[in-house]
Amino acid sequence: MKYCFGVDIGGTTVKLGLLTAEGTIVEKWEVKTITENEGAAIIPDVVKAIQDKITEKQIAVKDIIGVGVGVPAPVSEEGIVNGSANLGWKYKEVKGEMEEALKLPVVVGNDANVAALGEMWKGGGEGYQNLVMVTLGTGVGGGVIIKGKVVTGTNGAGGEIGHVCVNADEVARCGCGKTGCVEQYASATGIARLAGERLEKDEKPSILRGQHLSAKTVFDAVKEDDEVADEIAEEFGKYLGLALTNIAVIVDPEVFVIGGGVSKAGNIVLSYVEKYFQKYAFFANRQTQFALATLENDAGIYGAAKMILDK
C-alpha cells in the first residue's frame, strides 16, 4: 500500500490527512497554527506532525509518495511564497524547507487552487476535468482547472475570480483596492452589505429587520419567502452570474462548483446564480453545469494529496 499526506495550512489551524494513493483518508487531524514570530514555527510543526504520524503508523518511507501542501498565499512553481498575511510569513521556501526536513517530495500550491483540485477529485466536481471552483467565504476565492491541471498563472493570480469587475460604476472599494469586484457582492461580507443597503432603501417589511445581517440570515429569510431577502438574493445572483459568464467565455468549463460558507444555504444559492448565468451567458456556454462543493473543510486535504499524486 502506498500513502501520501495532504496538508492544508490555514491561519488558525493546520489540517493534515494521511491518505492512500487511491484517495481514501486513513486518518486526519489538526495542529494549531502558530503565527507569532513571522510564522517561524509553522513548517517545523507540520514536519513534526508528519514524522510523528509516520512513526505512529509504522509506515515505511519507501511507501510514502510525498506531501502536498496548500497555503493561503500565491505560490510560485518552485514552491516559494512571497509573503502570507494570514501566516505571518515573508519570503519562504516552503517546498525547499519541507523537503530538506522530511526527505520526501513536497508540492506546494495556493489553498483556493488546492481546494478546487480536491473538489474535482472527490467532491462536487468529481468526474469533470475542466472546472472552475468558486469559494464564497469572507472573500470570494477560486480555482481554475483545465484538463485536470490547476491554472496557477504567471504571478500565482490564476483563479482570482473574486476580483472580476462586474460593476464599473461602483464607488466603494474592494479589499484589493479596486472597485466593482464580484467579491463586493457575492462574498459573505458582500451579501451582508447588500442586505444593509437594501433595508435602508425603504420601509418594506422584512423578517430581516432587526436581525444580524449575514449570508445565512438572508438565505434563511429567502426560504421563508421574504420578499426583501429575495431582492437581495437577486442582486447577489446578478453579480455572481455575470462574473461567471465572463469566466465561461475565457476558459469554458464543464462545471462551476460553488463552495464556501455562503454555499451552505444549499441549492437555493445555485438557483439565483444559474438564473442570471443563463440570462447573461454567451450562447456556447449555456450548457455549463453547476454543482455545490461537498468536501467542506476536507477539500484542502484531498486537493493537496492529489497534487503530490499527480506530480
Site string for a second copy, 280-299 (x = CB under 8 A): x-xxxx-xx-----------
> From the CB of 284, what's the least distance to a second copy, in Å?
4
3-state secondary structure the chain: CCEEEEEEECCCEEEEEEEECCCCEEEEEEEECCCHHHHCCHHHHHHHHHHHHHHHHCCCHHHEEEEEEEECCCECCCCEEEEECCCCEEEEEHHHHHHHHHCCCEEEEEHHHHHHHHHHHHCCCCCCCCEEEEEECCCEEEEEEECCEECCCCCCCCCCHHHCECCCCCCCECCCCCECECHHHHCHHHHHHHHHHHHHHCCCCCCCCCCCCCHHHHHHHHHCCCHHHHHHHHHHHHHHHHHHHHHHHHHCCCEEEEECHHHHHCHHHHHHHHHHHHHHCCHHHCCCEEEECCCHHHHHHHHHHHHHHHC
Task: Count other Cβ atoms within 10 Å, centred on residue 24.
Answer: 10
Hunting for cell 494529496 — which residue is that? 305
Minimum CB distance to a second copy, residue 52 (Å): 36
For a second copy, give the closer residue by CB, 172 or 284: 284
Contact flag: residue 155 with a second copy (CB under 8 A): yes
**Would you count residue 252 as binding a second copy (CB under 8 A)?**
yes
Instruction: Note whether 158 binds a second copy by CB under 8 A.
Output: yes
Closer residue to a second copy, CB minimum distance, 156 or 259: 156
Minimum Å gap between C-beta 162 and a second copy is 8
- Identify the CA nearest to 164 among candidates 131, 143, 140: 140
Query: CA 277 to CA 64: how far, in whole Å?
Result: 44
Beta bridge partners of 29: 16
| Interface segment toward a second copy; rule CB under 8 A; list 62-70, 100-108, 206-214, 278-286 | 278-286
Measured from the CB of residue 27, what is the shortest distance to a second copy in angstroms?
A: 35
Any contact of residue 55 with a second copy (CB under 8 A)?
A: no
If the CB atoms of residues 219 and 277 are measured against a second copy, the closer one turns out to be 277
- Would you count residue 234 as binding a second copy (CB under 8 A)? no
Task: Provide, rounded to whole angstroms, the least separation between the CB of residue 86 and a second copy.
Answer: 16
91 lies in the binding site for a second copy (CB under 8 A): no
CA–CA–CA angle 140, 142, 147 (5° rounding): 165
Interactions with a second copy, residue window 13-42 (CB under 8 A): none
Shortest CB 84 distance to a second copy, Å: 14
Stretch near a second copy under the rule CB under 8 A, chosen from 87-95, 113-121, 279-287, 296-304: 279-287
Rounded Cα distance between 277 and 12, Å, is: 35
Q: Restricting to residues 131-150, which ones interact with a second copy according to CB under 8 A?
A: 144, 146
- The answer to whether residue 303 forms part of the interface with a second copy (CB under 8 A) is no
Size, binding site for a second copy by CB under 8 A = 43
Considering the complex, state which of residue 132 and residue 270 has its C-beta at the smaller distance from a second copy: 132
- Single residue of 20, 76, 86, 167 touching a second copy by CB under 8 A: 167
CB of 232 to a second copy, least distance (A): 18
By CB under 8 A, residue 153 contacts a second copy = yes
Give the residues lining the site for a second copy (CB under 8 A): 74, 130, 144, 146, 151-161, 163-169, 176-178, 242, 245-254, 280, 282-285, 287-288
